[in-house]
Amino acid sequence: MEDLYLVLGIEPDAKPESIRERFRFLAQAYHPDKFSSTKQKEFAEEEFKKINNAYQILSNPSKRANYDLQRVRTSNYSRTNINDITRKAEETAHRHAQEERAWQERKRKAEEGARRHAQEEHDWKERKRKADEEERKRARGGQQNTTDKTKFYSGWEEHLEEERAWEERRRKAVEEEHQRSLKDQKRKAESEARKLERAEKKRKVEEAALQGALEKQKILNATLKHRLVLKQGDGYVVNPSPPRLSLLLAIIEIGGTFDVVGGAVEAKRKIKTFLESIRRKNKTAKT
Protein backbone atom coordinates (compact mmCIF):
# COMPACT_ATOMS: atom_id res chain seq x y z
CA MET A 1 0.00 0.00 0.00
CA GLU A 2 1.42 3.39 -0.99
CA ASP A 3 2.02 5.82 1.87
CA LEU A 4 -0.23 8.83 1.21
CA TYR A 5 1.79 11.00 3.60
CA LEU A 6 4.90 10.36 1.48
CA VAL A 7 2.93 11.17 -1.67
CA LEU A 8 2.16 14.65 -0.31
CA GLY A 9 5.51 14.95 1.49
CA ILE A 10 4.02 15.70 4.93
CA GLU A 11 4.27 14.30 8.42
CA PRO A 12 1.60 11.86 9.76
CA ASP A 13 0.52 14.44 12.36
CA ALA A 14 0.15 17.29 9.84
CA LYS A 15 -2.77 19.67 10.36
CA PRO A 16 -5.54 20.15 7.75
CA GLU A 17 -4.15 23.57 6.81
CA SER A 18 -0.72 22.08 6.04
CA ILE A 19 -2.30 19.29 3.98
CA ARG A 20 -4.32 21.80 1.94
CA GLU A 21 -1.30 24.05 1.28
CA ARG A 22 0.88 21.11 0.26
CA PHE A 23 -1.79 19.80 -2.11
CA ARG A 24 -2.13 23.16 -3.85
CA PHE A 25 1.64 23.40 -4.29
CA LEU A 26 2.00 19.87 -5.72
CA ALA A 27 -1.09 20.24 -7.93
CA GLN A 28 0.45 23.31 -9.57
CA ALA A 29 3.90 21.65 -9.88
CA TYR A 30 2.60 18.46 -11.52
CA HIS A 31 -0.22 19.85 -13.63
CA PRO A 32 0.01 18.07 -17.04
CA ASP A 33 -0.50 21.31 -18.99
CA LYS A 34 2.87 22.60 -17.75
CA PHE A 35 4.84 19.89 -19.63
CA SER A 36 5.53 19.65 -23.33
CA SER A 37 6.67 16.08 -24.13
CA THR A 38 4.33 13.07 -24.12
CA LYS A 39 6.32 11.12 -21.53
CA GLN A 40 6.47 14.10 -19.23
CA LYS A 41 2.71 14.62 -19.56
CA GLU A 42 2.01 10.96 -18.80
CA PHE A 43 4.29 11.04 -15.77
CA ALA A 44 2.68 14.29 -14.56
CA GLU A 45 -0.84 12.85 -15.00
CA GLU A 46 0.03 9.79 -12.91
CA GLU A 47 1.58 11.92 -10.17
CA PHE A 48 -1.38 14.31 -10.27
CA LYS A 49 -3.80 11.40 -9.79
CA LYS A 50 -1.79 10.12 -6.82
CA ILE A 51 -1.67 13.58 -5.25
CA ASN A 52 -5.40 14.13 -5.75
CA ASN A 53 -6.27 10.69 -4.31
CA ALA A 54 -4.05 11.30 -1.26
CA TYR A 55 -5.65 14.70 -0.65
CA GLN A 56 -9.21 13.31 -0.97
CA ILE A 57 -8.47 10.77 1.77
CA LEU A 58 -6.32 12.84 4.15
CA SER A 59 -8.57 15.93 3.99
CA ASN A 60 -11.56 13.89 5.17
CA PRO A 61 -11.30 13.26 8.97
CA SER A 62 -13.17 9.92 8.93
CA LYS A 63 -11.30 8.59 5.86
CA ARG A 64 -8.01 9.76 7.33
CA ALA A 65 -8.71 7.93 10.63
CA ASN A 66 -9.50 4.70 8.77
CA TYR A 67 -6.38 5.07 6.62
CA ASP A 68 -4.14 5.72 9.66
CA LEU A 69 -5.45 2.55 11.31
CA GLN A 70 -4.88 0.52 8.14
CA ARG A 71 -1.45 2.12 7.66
CA VAL A 72 -0.28 1.02 11.12
CA ARG A 73 -1.49 -2.54 10.49
CA THR A 74 -0.05 -3.05 7.00
CA SER A 75 2.94 -2.20 4.82
CA ASN A 76 4.76 0.60 6.62
CA TYR A 77 5.05 -1.49 9.75
CA SER A 78 5.13 -4.95 8.18
CA ARG A 79 8.36 -5.83 9.98
CA THR A 80 7.04 -4.88 13.40
CA ASN A 81 6.40 -7.77 15.75
CA ILE A 82 2.61 -7.96 16.09
CA ASN A 83 2.88 -9.88 19.35
CA ASP A 84 4.99 -7.09 20.87
CA ILE A 85 2.49 -4.47 19.72
CA THR A 86 -0.40 -6.48 21.20
CA ARG A 87 1.47 -7.02 24.45
CA LYS A 88 2.38 -3.35 24.76
CA ALA A 89 -1.19 -2.33 23.97
CA GLU A 90 -2.51 -4.71 26.65
CA GLU A 91 0.02 -3.40 29.18
CA THR A 92 -0.96 0.17 28.38
CA ALA A 93 -4.65 -0.67 28.68
CA HIS A 94 -4.02 -2.43 32.01
CA ARG A 95 -2.05 0.56 33.31
CA HIS A 96 -4.77 2.95 32.19
CA ALA A 97 -7.38 0.76 33.90
CA GLN A 98 -5.41 0.84 37.15
CA GLU A 99 -5.07 4.61 36.96
CA GLU A 100 -8.78 4.90 36.21
CA ARG A 101 -9.65 2.72 39.25
CA ALA A 102 -7.37 4.79 41.49
CA TRP A 103 -8.96 7.97 40.21
CA GLN A 104 -12.45 6.57 40.75
CA GLU A 105 -11.50 5.62 44.32
CA ARG A 106 -10.23 9.13 45.06
CA LYS A 107 -13.34 10.56 43.46
CA ARG A 108 -15.56 8.29 45.58
CA LYS A 109 -13.81 9.36 48.80
CA ALA A 110 -14.14 13.02 47.81
CA GLU A 111 -17.86 12.53 47.11
CA GLU A 112 -18.33 10.78 50.45
CA GLY A 113 -16.59 13.69 52.19
CA ALA A 114 -18.81 16.13 50.29
CA ARG A 115 -21.96 14.20 51.28
CA ARG A 116 -20.85 14.07 54.92
CA HIS A 117 -20.15 17.77 54.86
CA ALA A 118 -23.55 18.46 53.28
CA GLN A 119 -25.24 16.36 56.00
CA GLU A 120 -23.43 18.28 58.73
CA GLU A 121 -24.46 21.54 57.12
CA HIS A 122 -28.06 20.31 56.93
CA ASP A 123 -27.99 19.39 60.64
CA TRP A 124 -26.62 22.81 61.56
CA LYS A 125 -29.33 24.53 59.55
CA GLU A 126 -31.98 22.38 61.19
CA ARG A 127 -30.69 23.29 64.66
CA LYS A 128 -30.58 26.94 63.62
CA ARG A 129 -34.18 26.77 62.41
CA LYS A 130 -35.32 25.22 65.69
CA ALA A 131 -33.39 27.82 67.68
CA ASP A 132 -35.02 30.61 65.65
CA GLU A 133 -38.46 29.11 66.31
CA GLU A 134 -37.77 28.93 70.03
CA GLU A 135 -36.54 32.52 69.96
CA ARG A 136 -39.70 33.68 68.21
CA LYS A 137 -41.84 31.80 70.74
CA ARG A 138 -40.02 33.42 73.65
CA ALA A 139 -40.31 36.84 71.97
CA ARG A 140 -44.06 36.41 71.52
CA GLY A 141 -44.42 35.31 75.13
CA GLY A 142 -42.44 38.29 76.38
CA GLN A 143 -39.46 36.23 77.40
CA GLN A 144 -36.05 37.68 76.66
CA ASN A 145 -33.42 34.98 76.79
CA THR A 146 -30.54 35.46 74.39
CA THR A 147 -28.03 33.17 76.06
CA ASP A 148 -28.91 30.07 74.02
CA LYS A 149 -28.93 32.03 70.78
CA THR A 150 -25.53 33.55 71.53
CA LYS A 151 -24.10 30.10 72.20
CA PHE A 152 -25.64 28.72 69.02
CA TYR A 153 -24.27 31.45 66.74
CA SER A 154 -20.85 31.12 68.34
CA GLY A 155 -20.88 27.42 67.47
CA TRP A 156 -22.17 28.24 63.98
CA GLU A 157 -19.24 30.57 63.32
CA GLU A 158 -16.84 27.81 64.36
CA HIS A 159 -18.60 25.46 61.97
CA LEU A 160 -18.28 27.97 59.11
CA GLU A 161 -14.58 28.31 59.84
CA GLU A 162 -14.16 24.54 59.72
CA GLU A 163 -16.08 24.49 56.43
CA ARG A 164 -13.80 27.09 54.87
CA ALA A 165 -10.72 25.15 56.02
CA TRP A 166 -12.14 21.93 54.57
CA GLU A 167 -12.88 23.63 51.22
CA GLU A 168 -9.34 25.01 51.09
CA ARG A 169 -7.84 21.56 51.74
CA ARG A 170 -10.10 20.05 49.09
CA ARG A 171 -9.12 22.75 46.54
CA LYS A 172 -5.40 22.14 47.15
CA ALA A 173 -5.84 18.37 46.81
CA VAL A 174 -7.71 18.77 43.49
CA GLU A 175 -5.06 21.17 42.18
CA GLU A 176 -2.22 18.81 43.14
CA GLU A 177 -4.02 15.92 41.44
CA HIS A 178 -4.48 18.04 38.31
CA GLN A 179 -0.79 18.96 38.21
CA ARG A 180 0.24 15.30 38.58
CA SER A 181 -2.12 14.35 35.79
CA LEU A 182 -0.65 17.03 33.49
CA LYS A 183 2.90 15.86 34.20
CA ASP A 184 1.96 12.24 33.48
CA GLN A 185 0.29 13.22 30.22
CA LYS A 186 3.30 15.28 29.15
CA ARG A 187 5.69 12.42 29.96
CA LYS A 188 3.55 9.92 28.03
CA ALA A 189 3.26 12.27 25.05
CA GLU A 190 7.04 12.76 24.94
CA SER A 191 7.59 9.01 25.14
CA GLU A 192 5.13 8.36 22.29
CA ALA A 193 6.75 11.11 20.21
CA ARG A 194 10.18 9.51 20.64
CA LYS A 195 8.80 6.11 19.65
CA LEU A 196 7.16 7.55 16.55
CA GLU A 197 10.36 9.39 15.62
CA ARG A 198 12.42 6.19 15.88
CA ALA A 199 9.85 4.26 13.84
CA GLU A 200 9.83 7.01 11.18
CA LYS A 201 13.65 6.97 10.91
CA LYS A 202 13.63 3.19 10.57
CA ARG A 203 10.92 3.38 7.91
CA LYS A 204 12.87 6.00 5.91
CA VAL A 205 16.03 3.87 6.00
CA GLU A 206 14.09 0.83 4.76
CA GLU A 207 12.42 2.88 2.02
CA ALA A 208 15.78 4.25 0.87
CA ALA A 209 17.24 0.74 0.72
CA LEU A 210 14.20 -0.55 -1.15
CA GLN A 211 14.31 2.37 -3.61
CA GLY A 212 18.00 1.72 -4.30
CA ALA A 213 17.32 -1.97 -4.94
CA LEU A 214 14.42 -1.14 -7.27
CA GLU A 215 16.53 1.37 -9.19
CA LYS A 216 19.35 -1.13 -9.60
CA GLN A 217 16.88 -3.81 -10.74
CA LYS A 218 15.34 -1.47 -13.31
CA ILE A 219 18.78 -0.65 -14.72
CA LEU A 220 19.58 -4.39 -14.90
CA ASN A 221 16.27 -5.11 -16.65
CA ALA A 222 16.88 -2.34 -19.19
CA THR A 223 20.44 -3.48 -19.94
CA LEU A 224 19.30 -7.10 -20.33
CA LYS A 225 16.39 -6.06 -22.53
CA HIS A 226 18.65 -4.14 -24.92
CA ARG A 227 21.52 -6.70 -24.72
CA LEU A 228 24.02 -4.42 -23.02
CA VAL A 229 24.46 -7.21 -20.45
CA LEU A 230 24.19 -10.96 -21.13
CA LYS A 231 23.19 -13.74 -18.73
CA GLN A 232 26.05 -16.20 -18.14
CA GLY A 233 25.56 -18.98 -15.59
CA ASP A 234 24.55 -17.50 -12.25
CA GLY A 235 25.90 -14.07 -13.12
CA TYR A 236 26.06 -11.48 -15.90
CA VAL A 237 28.72 -10.30 -18.35
CA VAL A 238 28.98 -7.11 -20.37
CA ASN A 239 28.19 -7.51 -24.06
CA PRO A 240 31.49 -6.57 -25.79
CA SER A 241 29.73 -5.35 -28.93
CA PRO A 242 26.23 -4.14 -28.12
CA PRO A 243 24.17 -2.53 -30.91
CA ARG A 244 24.47 1.23 -30.76
CA LEU A 245 20.69 1.58 -31.16
CA SER A 246 20.15 -0.67 -28.11
CA LEU A 247 22.43 1.59 -26.06
CA LEU A 248 20.41 4.61 -27.11
CA LEU A 249 17.11 2.84 -26.29
CA ALA A 250 18.40 1.79 -22.87
CA ILE A 251 19.49 5.36 -22.08
CA ILE A 252 16.08 6.73 -23.13
CA GLU A 253 14.22 4.08 -21.14
CA ILE A 254 16.18 4.60 -17.92
CA GLY A 255 16.16 8.34 -18.38
CA GLY A 256 12.37 8.30 -18.77
CA THR A 257 12.08 6.12 -15.65
CA PHE A 258 14.31 8.04 -13.25
CA ASP A 259 14.84 11.53 -14.63
CA VAL A 260 11.91 12.97 -16.50
CA VAL A 261 13.65 16.24 -17.32
CA GLY A 262 17.18 15.96 -18.78
CA GLY A 263 17.31 12.25 -18.00
CA ALA A 264 19.51 11.00 -20.86
CA VAL A 265 22.80 12.26 -19.38
CA GLU A 266 22.01 10.91 -15.94
CA ALA A 267 20.84 7.57 -17.38
CA LYS A 268 24.06 7.23 -19.38
CA ARG A 269 26.09 7.80 -16.22
CA LYS A 270 24.06 5.17 -14.34
CA ILE A 271 24.50 2.60 -17.12
CA LYS A 272 28.26 3.25 -17.23
CA THR A 273 28.56 2.81 -13.45
CA PHE A 274 26.49 -0.36 -13.57
CA LEU A 275 28.54 -1.93 -16.37
CA GLU A 276 31.80 -1.09 -14.58
CA SER A 277 30.54 -2.80 -11.43
CA ILE A 278 29.75 -5.96 -13.46
CA ARG A 279 33.25 -5.89 -15.01
CA ARG A 280 34.82 -5.60 -11.54
CA LYS A 281 32.75 -8.54 -10.27
CA ASN A 282 33.81 -10.68 -13.29
CA LYS A 283 37.50 -9.82 -12.68
CA THR A 284 37.20 -10.70 -9.00
CA ALA A 285 35.47 -14.00 -9.83
CA LYS A 286 38.23 -14.96 -12.33
CA THR A 287 41.05 -14.21 -9.87
Each residue's pLDDT tens digit in the chain (287 positions)? 678 888 888 888 888 899 999 999 988 888 888 888 888 888 889 988 999 999 999 989 888 888 888 888 775 444 444 455 456 556 766 776 787 788 788 889 888 888 888 898 888 888 888 888 888 887 776 555 555 555 566 677 788 888 888 889 989 988 888 888 888 888 888 888 888 888 889 888 888 888 777 777 777 777 777 777 777 677 777 777 776 667 767 776 776 654 444 466 677 777 778 878 877 877 777 66
pLDDT for position 261: 44
Identify the CATH number of the domain defined by range 4-77.
1.10.287.110
What pLDDT sits at residue 260?
42
DSSP 122-146: HHHHHHHHHHHHHHHHHHHTT----
What DSSP designation does 35 have? -
Contact 242, 249 (CB under 8 A): no
**pTM listed for this prediction:** 0.32
pLDDT at position 99, please? 77
Residues near 122 by Cβ (< 8 Å), separated by ≥ 6?
A: none
pLDDT at 264: 67
Residues 6+ apart with CB under 8 A from 8: 19, 22, 23, 26, 51, 54, 55, 58
